[in-house]
Structures are given as C-alpha cells and as structure tokens.
Amino acid sequence: MNENKCSRHETFCQFRSEVRSNPDYLIVGIDVAKDKYHTFFGTTRGETLKKRLVFENSKEGFETLKLHIESVQAKYAKSQVVLAIEPTGNYHKALCG
C-alpha cells in the first residue's frame, strides 16, 4: 500500500472505531438506484430506529431524506449522523454532490 492509501485506511479505521463506540451516532444506510432510494435508520448498537424510507432520486427526495434524518435525530437524541451509501452505477453522485 502506498503512503496515501495507508493514511486513508488509518483514517477510516479510526473513524469506524469512533462511530462504533459512540451511541450518539445515527447510522443511515442508503441503497441507491436510478429512480428511488431505499433507506434504513439504525444505531451503532444494531437497533433499528426506522426500518424503511423510500424517496425519489430528486431534489425533493433529498429534502425528504433530510427531514427524516432530522426527525429521527430529535426523537432518539442522536447528535451525529453517518450516511452509508451503497453506490449503484453513478446514481449515488447526485446524493454525494
């Protein structure tokens, strides 16, 4: 591994360790697709907070996601959020951009 890859890997491992040990994180898993994204909300301890949110691959859909994240954060007192995105093709780029 070159130096840059080692540094990125070390940074990722440190971040993953921080997230796993901190109950203040809300984990939002997103399965992206061309038209609709499927989302799961959970805790670092494996609890399901919101099983399924389906939203459109559009600005309005992203606003819906944002509102749901804020709502779940407030309801469960989660001060941090991690988005875990499973990219399919290039459909995730609009969400990441």
- The CATH number of whichever domain residue 65 belongs to comes to 3.30.420
Q: Is residue 55 part of a domain?
A: yes
| Amino acid found at 85 | I
Global pTM reads: 0.80
31 occurs within a structural domain: yes
Question: How many angstroms separate the Cα of 90 from the Cα of each of 32, 37, 82?
Answer: 9, 13, 20
Tokens found for residue 66: 């944002």
The total number of structural domains in the chain stands at: 1
Checking DSSP bridges between strand 36-43 and strand 25-31, what pairing results, if any? antiparallel
Separation CA 57–CA 32 (nearest Å):
8
Asked whether residue 7 is domain-assigned, the answer is: no
1 three-class SS: coil
Q: Please give the chain's pLDDT, 97 residues, in tens.
A: 566 666 888 888 898 899 999 999 999 999 888 788 899 999 999 999 998 899 998 899 999 999 999 999 999 999 999 998 876 666 556 655 5
Q: Is residue 18 part of a domain?
A: no
Residue 66 inside a domain? The answer is yes
Which residue range(s) make up the domain with 76?
Answer: 23-96
